[in-house]
Structure 1
Amino acid sequence: MTTKLPRKRFYRQRAHANPFSDHQLDYPVCPSQMDWSKHYPKYYAPVETDNIAIVPSKRPHSPATSVSADALTAACTVPVDNFSKTSEDAPKVEFADLGCGYGGLLVGLAPIFPETLMLGMEIRVKVQDYVAKRIHALRIQNSGPEGVTGGYQNISIIRMNAMKFLPNFFEKGQLSKLFFLFPDPHFKKKKHKARIISPTLLAEYAYVLREGGIIYTITDVKALHEWMVKHLTAHPLFELIPEEELATDPVIPHVRESTEEGKKVARNEGDKFLACFRRVADPLVPSTQA
Structure 2
Amino acid sequence: MLEKETNPVFNKSTGLPRKRFYRARAHSNPLSDSHFPVPVSPSHVDYSLHYPQFFALPDQMNDSKRIQFADIGCGFGGLLISLSTLFPETLMIGMELRDKVSEYVKERISALRVSNPGQYQNISVVRTNSMKYIPNYFEKGQLMKMFFLFPDPHFKEKNHRRRVISPHLLDEYAYVLGIGGIIYTITDVEELGDWMKSCLESHPMFEPLTDEELDADPVVKLLSSATEEGQKVARNGGQTFQAVFRRILPTE
Report the TM-score, using the length of structure 2 for normalisation.
Answer: 0.92
Q: What residue number does 1:121 align with?
A: 95
The Cα shift of 1:158 comes to 0.4
Q: What residue number does 1:242 align with?
A: 210
Q: How many residue pairs get matched? A: 241
Which structure has greater helix proportion? Answer: 2
Q: 8 Å contact 2:180–2:246 — kept in the other structure?
A: yes
Which amino acid in structure 2 is aligned with residue 225 of structure 1?
Answer: G
Q: What residue number does 1:105 align with?
A: 79
Which amino acid in structure 1 is aligned with residue 157 of structure 2?
Answer: K
State, as a whole percentage, how many aligned pairs show the same letter. Answer: 58
Provide runs of 4+ in structure 1 moved above 2 Å.
none
Which amino acid in structure 2 is aligned with residue 92 of structure 1?
Answer: R
Secondary structure at the residue paired with 1:27? coil
Q: What residue number does 2:7 align with?
A: none
Residue number among 137, 140, 161 corresponding to 1:169 in the alignment: 137
Matched, 1:10 2:21: yes
Report the TM-score, using the length of structure 1 for normalisation.
Answer: 0.80
The separation in 2 between residues aligned to 1:130 and 1:122, in whole angstroms, is 11
Q: What residue number does 2:10 align with?
A: none
Matched, 1:259 2:227: yes
The Cα shift of 1:188 comes to 0.2
1:200-219 CA deviation, whole Å, 9 max, x = no partner? 10000000000001000000
Q: What residue number does 1:19 align with?
A: 30
Residue number among 187, 211, 222 corresponding to 2:190 in the alignment: 222
1:233-267 CA deviation, whole Å, 9 max, x = no partner? 00000001122210010111111100000000001
The Cα shift of 1:87 comes to 1.7
Secondary structure at the residue paired with 1:257? coil
Query: RMSD of aligned C-alpha atoms?
Result: 1.7
1:170-204 CA deviation, whole Å, 9 max, x = no partner? 00000000000000000000000000001110000
The separation in 2 between residues aligned to 1:36 and 1:194, in whole angstroms, is 29
The Cα shift of 1:45 comes to 4.3
Structure 1 gap segments, 5+ residues each: 47-83, 144-149, 285-290
Matched, 1:43 2:57: no
